[in-house]
Chain A
Amino acid sequence: MARQTNRLGSGGRIDRSRPLRFRFNGRDYGGYEGDTLASALLANGVRLVNRSFKLHRPRGIIGCGAEEPNAILQLGSGAGTLPNQRATQVSLYDGLEARSTRGWPSLRFDASSVNDLFGRVFSAGFYYKTFMFPQRWWDYYEAFIRRSAGLGVAPDRPDPDRYEHRNAHCDVLVVGAGPAGLMAALAAARSGARVILADQQREPGGSLVGSDLPIGGRPADEWIAAVVDELREFDDVRVLTHSIVFGYHDHNFVTIAQECGGDMRERLWRVRARQVVLAQGAFERPLAFCNNDRPGVMLASAVSAYIKRYAVCPGRRAVVFTNNDSAYQCALDLAHAGATVGALVDSRGSVSSELTDRVEAVGIPVLHGHIVTDVRGRLSVGGVRVARWNGDTDARADNSIDIRCDLLAVSGGWNPAVHLHSQAGGAIAWDERRHCFVPAESRQANRSAGSGNGRWSLADCLRDGRDAGVAAARSCGFDAAEPELPVVEERDETPLQPLWRVPAARDPDSCPKQFLDFQNDTCVADVRLAVREGYRNVEHVKRYTALGFGTDQGKLGNITGMAVLAETLGAPVASVGTTTFRPPFTPVSFGVCAGEGVGELYDPVRKTAIHEWHVSAGAAFENVGQWHRPWYFPRAGEDLNSAVARECLATRRSIGILDASTLGKIDVQGRDAVAFLERIYPHKVGRMAVGRCAYGLMLGEDGMVMDDGVMTRLGDRRYYLTTTTGGAARVLAWLESWLQTEWPDLEVYLTSLTDQLSTISVAGPNSRRLLEKLGCSIDLSREQFPFMSMRQADLAGLPVQLFRVSFSGELAFEINVDSAHALALWQTLMDAGREFEITPYGTETMHVLRAEKGFVIVGQDTDGSVTPIDLGLERMLAKDKDFLGKRSLARPDCVREGRKQLVGLLSADGRTVLREGAQLIEEPGAAHPVPMIGHVTSSYMSDCLGHPIALALVAGGRSRHGETIHASLGAGSIATVTIVPPVFYDPQNERQHD
């Protein structure tokens, strides 16, 4: 195992007593608890971590957080493999395995790096210019692009890890636990507000973690610990670490992905906050000089973070290049860590002497008025070229100085992380003084604080955070006092010098590459080329050059790219503007989005009270809406067809029994029940006698059939309705909407009884005998209990409602029973029915039986464009009253000739079962395009009739009975069919009336 050559002997926030082993590209390395994968790689001196996306340039770690564009790795293998993981945000664990996703045959020698030699070809708009012609080759191009560009491999098996969701509410959500966030949380917590403080790091403190800067007279680490301890004392404060706030949605709904320990991999926090304080800090930006992507070029702040947090010094001989004050601390940190700092190169001509003195005091030469123009070395930084500079961006650099080094720490200034503010709809504005975009007006209840608000000094951040916390708590109605600010050292600040594109020895379009977007290999020259080719708008340039399109979404180089665009256009940055920020802030896993909602919890499975009987009887199930319904009950050796044939014949000959409990059931009562239902149903509701049933259609206001069912009059002012299984909830809500919005004067109450009542349908010529055998309290004879009526009765000692309705065309009884007794009653029926060979059947047999009778299923034989007239049910439409949808039936389109109408179809050969959905045509040989005159809606083999049957919608079909048309069977095969009336079995309805 490699030695951790870059690990410092002491310091850092790692736990040296807990060593960890990990593997990268097949080699074993060591690290410590508290490391990230990136810090552990750097500790082991691993420079080269990946190849770039397009040019396959060697790349190393550049940042230490969400901005990292290069160290995007594949973790693990098999079902649990994770693609596209930023090494800077992956906590190291024992046994971790990671590998680069590009670089073939090896990372050091990548065959595709020839792309780099032909870099001119791979310029802006490369994808658009190269893969255009001929169009038929696109499939090959696509495969090529995907293979060479791929960012990682998705697992091909179910994720073995656990995830969960957690809803939370708070008064004040503070995003970011740096100095500003800690002060904001403290101020809000002390006021009594409910506070959530979320931070992406392993521990709170932000940029101060591991710092020895004095705050309030003690080291920063102690101050952080004291604040966090106080926060944790409050019952109503929650401190979330390892938690990335990735989405700021409407009405202060904020989503946070938290990395957990143990068997729970990630948790999604869904937070509704009354106020949000955004204190997530700022991203340091790079500078665009030649070969600024070589492994060993890093952000200055990242170098400091690796030294202080992880006790890793990423280089031995360093150069620091900056245009602002902040990188001076990096030079001091490097020197303190024992590295030689060859020079601090500052583009500014003069800098406060206090700052310069401190750096020079530890022996670091400071070169004011100088720039780094180029980097030597290919797989790793070998040295830098430095030139004197007078501030003229169009100058040619003289490259008079060459400094040997293995690390270049760069700071091009800071970009406040305005992402969440922008996601929340807030405006962002270019700050001419601080040369960065800052949050402007908020659209939601949020405020920004600290460096995320463009405050650079520690003192300003602490004050800004406190003020934001106080203001947020007060907005929630809490009487917040202002906590005292800890005393910190104040220093003179020398303003940043705006510098984006660094002058090179040659002109910017032919000099070595100056990278802006490292993940997509977008360079200064690409942006300039895009402008020459006519692009002006930032959104267009972004898409043409792919600037900011990587998984880092341009956190590193986007603003620099926009500044280069502005410079090329000769316009101020403010006028170029920025692109839109959208969730997620950083990529989140599918696992955490799904949470517990996978496998059997993906969607509720609704079960009837009789479900367990079906399971034990070996039923095959199908999903009907959320219900699991028995599809058929196969016996040994039976498939769907043979089981259904047996179930159908048994029902027609003796008794079949169906669990119809999934029907929607609605109790309707009240003074105006009749008036209400008259407006809903097309038929005359008030004319029904108590105890009578009627088939009822429900039409939408557009006149189309929306649902159907049986309605029963239970009393003068009480009805009982059934709906389709899938329509139950929708119909109830629809009925309520009419009562509440249009007819509030009607006094009618609707109650769903779908779950309260279970429905058992007993169908077949022997069904009456079965009920009589069980002991029924009423006379079941045809005379006393006729078809389409209902009786209250005691059956087998249970109170039930009996309905003489039939969806099979047989003598049938539907039995409504309290669901608490449904299973017992079912078992009783099965026992008593043995002598009649009672046969349980499922939805498939139900469909065949009803199709033989020509009964439609709403949603199968109708599709929302079918009127009752199309179904041949105009006799149900009352002429002398209004009802929903009636007026629409007189619209020109509903009365025109040639509407599709319900018919039956018989195959001419008496054998072919048509395909449901098959298109119907007049003549198979007709010229293309062949006119479609209808389609098959239901099709089954009818073993009872001995031939297949089908229902179809055919243009003008009712006047075409007896005619021959054709149905597609797929694959060019055509069946000849005859149009017939849609009732195939017992057209005189003798059996169901029996």
Chain B
Amino acid sequence: MTDLSQRRHGLETLVGAHGDREQLSATVTLEIRAAVRQLNLRGDPGKAGLRTAAEEALGQALPVQPNATTAGPHTICWLGPDEWLVLSATPDAANVATALEQALSKHGAAVNDVSGGQVLLHLAGSGVRDLLAKGCTLDFHPRAFAPGACAQSGLAKANVLIRLDEDGEAFDVVVRRSFADYLLRWLRHAA
């Protein structure tokens, strides 16, 4: 009855009248990137073979430095010494989870598709740093938060993953789905 090829994100009510792309203020735009696949990966990077297998399956290396990301076919964010988030906007993103799971199964790793449970907000514009600073204790100064860096923290009263893109211009904010409505309200208010 439901056509899976028409993959809906179920976030229509969050977007409301604003559309997928919304001007939060004169200096900040917001985009809800529902099409990006999100995979949570856990495993021991010290284990022989795990990193190689992951790199083969993903086409890029896992970041092992804290709060770093790697760019390639996907964006891979460091979440912890044994945990990563793969953000994938590739055309075959839906198959990445399966491929990764198969590649890593013998290395004792855990792969979970969390695309339905997390919402990726893309914030761009000259006012983003100031906006984030209203609700987050991280230091977003270019000296402290470099392009390609990521960090988990709190934004307002929600837990988030924040990533600065490679150009150092726009931020991705990943929030759990159940907090997304709250966080959007906060962003609209604070902006």
Contacts and interface: CB of A to CB of B under 8 A. Distances in A.
A671 B105 CA distance: 10
B10 A820 contact: yes
A606 interface: yes
B42 interface: yes
A187 interface: no
Interface string A813-825: 0000011111111
Contact of B134 (A166, A608, A823, A828): A166
Contact of B113 (A756, A775, A823): A756
Contact of A756 (B4, B8, B42, B114): B114
Given A749-B109, A798-B2, A824-B10, A165 B179 contact: no
A751 interface: yes
Contact of B108 (A671, A755, A774): A671
B134 A165 contact: yes
A440 interface: no
Contact of B10 (A236, A603, A823): A823
A605 B182 contact: yes
B135 interface: yes
Contacts of B186: 596, 601
A874 interface: no
Contacts of A935: none
Nearest to B11: A820
Nearest to B6: A824
Contacts of A479: none
Contacts of B99: none
Interface string B32-44: 0000000010111
A660 to B, nearest CB: 14
Interface in B127-146: 130, 133-139, 141, 143-144
Q: Which of B40, B178, B189 has the most CB of A within 10 A?
A: B178
B73 interface: no
Contacts of A796: 1-2
A222 interface: no
A268 to B, nearest CB: 10
Given A167-B134, A749-B109, A756-B113, A821 B8 contact: yes
B136 A609 contact: no
B189 A596 contact: yes
Nearest to B139: A169
A607 B181 contact: yes
Given A755-B176, A797-B3, A828-B2, A604 B117 contact: no
A823 B136 CA distance: 32
B2 A820 contact: no
Nearest to B178: A606
Contact of B177 (A165, A596, A819): A819
Contact of A751 (B40, B116, B137): B40
Contact of A667 (B13, B112, B178): B112
B133 A670 contact: no
A756 B134 contact: no
Nearest to B119: A755
A535 interface: no
A666 B162 CA distance: 23
A221 interface: no
Contacts of A194: 141, 143
A163 B81 CA distance: 39
Nearest to A828: B1
Contacts of B61: none
A215 interface: no
A755 B179 CA distance: 9
B21 interface: no
Nearest to B138: A167
A604 B182 contact: yes
Interface in B169-191: 176-179, 181-183, 185-186, 189-190
B189 A757 contact: no
Interface string A13-46: 0000000000000000000000000000000000
Contacts of A606: 178-179, 182
What is the interface residue range for chain A against chain B? 35 or more
Given A167-B137, A798-B4, A825-B2, A751 B181 contact: no
Interface in B81-133: 82, 108-110, 112-118, 130, 133
Nearest to B190: A596
Q: Which of A236, A272, A751 has the most CB of B within 10 A?
A: A751
A754 interface: yes
Nearest to A817: B116
A774 B114 CA distance: 26
Contacts of A825: 2
Interface string A162-188: 001111110000000000000000000
Contacts of A670: 108, 110
Contacts of B18: none
A601 B108 contact: no
A270 interface: yes
Contact of A753 (B114, B130, B156, B181): B114
Given A166-B133, A167-B134, A751-B40, A604 B118 contact: no
B112 A753 contact: yes
A600 interface: yes
A612 interface: yes
B18 to A, nearest CB: 16
A667 B133 contact: no
A669 interface: yes
B4 to A, nearest CB: 7
Contacts of A774: 1
A924 interface: no
A609 B158 contact: no
Contact of B42 (A165, A169, A749, A820): A749
B57 to A, nearest CB: 17
B112 A821 contact: no
Nearest to A606: B178
Contact of B133 (A167, A236, A608): A167
Nearest to A627: B178
Contacts of B82: 749
19 contacts: A164-B190, A169-B139, A169-B144, A596-B186, A601-B189, A604-B156, A607-B178, A608-B178, A609-B177, A747-B108, A753-B112, A754-B178, A755-B116, A755-B176, A756-B115, A774-B1, A798-B2, A818-B113, A824-B10
What 10 A-B pairs are tightest by C-beta distance, nearest first?
A756-B117, A755-B117, A749-B42, A749-B110, A606-B178, A820-B116, A819-B116, A818-B116, A169-B139, A604-B182
Given A755-B114, A820-B7, 10 more contacts: A164-B190, A601-B156, A605-B181, A606-B179, A755-B117, A755-B118, A756-B112, A756-B117, A797-B3, A825-B2
Interface of A: 164-169, 194, 236, 270, 272, 596-597, 600-601, 603-609, 611-612, 627, 667, 669-671, 747, 749-751, 753-757, 774-775, 796-798, 818-825, 828
